[in-house]
């Protein structure tokens, strides 16, 4: 079976995608699968084979030299990334390998154009089977605001939050700051709505920091969300399956920084993952129940990672 691993992409999580793709390809058994690397540059050009592999090797070298990108220079930097090449087809042409040379695709694109249903829709249009969630679940799962609305509809408890657009922020920033301070207490977290890997996320403890954090998040997305900060444990599980999903053993993340930011996830390697997490039977049952409920609420399929906060003071799942 020929497996196309698609990585890179135009989002702010381009570098993370390269690391993920290397992990996936290292894990595929070469005796069972023929791996076809398919890379997408930051400007949307496609590379297949050696050119894509070269980008992975470059990313590995950059990482070993301590030059892994931080969120602030993520979008425009080219360190360790896929760059346009003379042999690359135009952005309006898909590589023949996408249709003619693979039996199934594994999209390992992170963030916009990768986890938001875009690549999933493209693969369905060209008739290529792919791993992971479909168009709807991908789109909803990346949009934190829509996802929270769907979770609320099925009774999944959540932290308090305030959501707004970049246009609203630019039109009347002081009014929005007042709204956040009325609804939430410090500390709180400011996030771009449609992005992952903690890119553009800030923990804020004052009105001045809040304004700076919103301005940063607005560079990555037209929609922002501010969530209440809590004293919590961070728990995660995998959910696998389609109509009858299974939940994995839970793990607990111990971040190396004040919160699980980009640096704590990808730089230094000092964050810890404890498996299995130390949970009571009641906590474990709640995590498993809400993990399946979240998976089904957005019509997910294949696989998902579902994250939880368990508040230390009350031991309640969120």
Domain boundaries, the chain: 2-131, 161-228, 231-311
**Tokens representing residue 149 in the block:** 């609305």
CA distance 298 to 313: 30
Task: Give CA–CA dist 237/250, Å, rounded.
Answer: 5
Classify burial at 48, counting beta carbons within 10 Å of its beta carbon; exposed 0-12, middle 13-18, buried 19 or more.
buried
Quick: pLDDT tens for 106-162. Answer: 999 988 888 899 999 999 998 999 999 999 999 999 999 999 999 999 999 999 999
Q: What is the mean pLDDT of the chain?
A: 83
Q: Could you tell me what percent of the chain has a pLDDT over 90?
A: 58
Residue 8 CA, distance from chain mean position? 13
Task: Output b/e per residue, 110-131; b: 16+ Cβ within 10 A.
Answer: bbbbbbbbbbbebbeeeebebe
- State pTM to two decimals: 0.79
Between 71 and 317, the more confident residue is 317
Q: Sorting pLDDT into bands at 50, 70 and 90, what band is 196?
A: low
Q: Which CATH number fits domain 161-228: 3.30.1490.20, 3.30.1490.100, 3.40.50.300, 1.10.10.10?
A: 3.30.1490.20
The pLDDT-based confidence of 97 (bands split at 50, 70, 90) is confident
Q: Is-contact 127 78, C-beta < 8 A?
A: no
CATH entry 3.30.470.20 includes domain 231-311: yes
CATH 3.40.50.20 at 2-131, yes or no: yes
Element (H, E) at 5: strand 2-8
pLDDT at residue 64, as a whole number: 43
Sheet holding 188-192, edge to edge: 161-165, 223-228, 188-192, 202-204
Tell me the per-residue pLDDT of 14-64, one tens digit each, with 9 for 90 and over.
888 888 898 999 999 999 999 999 998 887 888 888 778 776 666 554 444
* Residue 67 near residue 61 (C-beta atoms within 8 A): no
pLDDT at 229 over 70: yes
Q: CB count, 10 Å around CB of 158?
A: 14
Lowest mean pLDDT across 12-16, 197-201, 233-237: 197-201
Q: Please give the structure tokens belonging to residue 126.
A: 């060209």
d(CA 28, CA 44): 26
> What value does the mean pLDDT take over residues 56-81?
42
Domains 2-131 and 231-311 share a fold: no
**Which residue from 193, 262, 272, 301 is spatially nearest to 19, judged by alpha carbons?**
262
């Amino acid at each position: 079976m020929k497996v196309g691993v698609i990585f890179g992409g135009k989002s702010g999580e381009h570098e993370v995608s390269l690391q993920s793709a290397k992990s996936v390809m290292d894990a595929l058994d070469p005796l069972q699968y023929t791996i076809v690397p398919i890379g997408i540059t930051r400007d949307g050009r496609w590379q297949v084979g050696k050119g894509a592999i070269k980008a992975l090797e470059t990313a590995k070298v950059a990482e070993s030299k301590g030059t892994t990108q931080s969120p602030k220079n993520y979008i425009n930097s080219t360190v360790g990334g896929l760059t346009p090449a003379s042999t690359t087809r135009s952005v309006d042409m898909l590589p023949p390998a996408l249709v003619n040379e693979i039996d199934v695709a594994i999209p390992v694109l992170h963030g916009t154009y990768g986890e938001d249903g875009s690549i999933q829709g493209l693969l369905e249009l060209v008739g290529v089977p792919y791993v992971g969630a479909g168009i709807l679940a991908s789109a909803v799962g990346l949009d934190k605001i829509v996802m929270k609305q769907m979770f609320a509809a099925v009774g999944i408890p959540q932290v308090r939050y305030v959501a707004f657009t970049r246009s609203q922020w630019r039109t009347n920033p002081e009014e929005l700051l007042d709204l956040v301070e009325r609804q939430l207490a410090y500390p709180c977290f400011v996030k771009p709505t449609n992005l992952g890997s903690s890119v553009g996320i800030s923990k804020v403890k004052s009105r001045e920091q809040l304004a700076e954090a919103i301005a940063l998040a607005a560079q990555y997305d037209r929609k922002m969300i501010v969530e209440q900060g809590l004293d919590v444990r961070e728990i995660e599980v995998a959910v696998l399956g389609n109509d009858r999903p299974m939940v994995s053993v839970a793990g607990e993340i111990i971040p190396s920084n004040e919160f699980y930011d980009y640096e704590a996830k990808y730089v230094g390697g000092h964050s810890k993952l404890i498996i299995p997490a130390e949970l009571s039977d009641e906590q474990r049952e709640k995590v498993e129940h809400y993990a399946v409920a979240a998976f089904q609420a957005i019509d997910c399929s294949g696989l998902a990672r579902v994250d939880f906060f368990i508040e230390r003071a009350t031991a309640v799942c969120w």
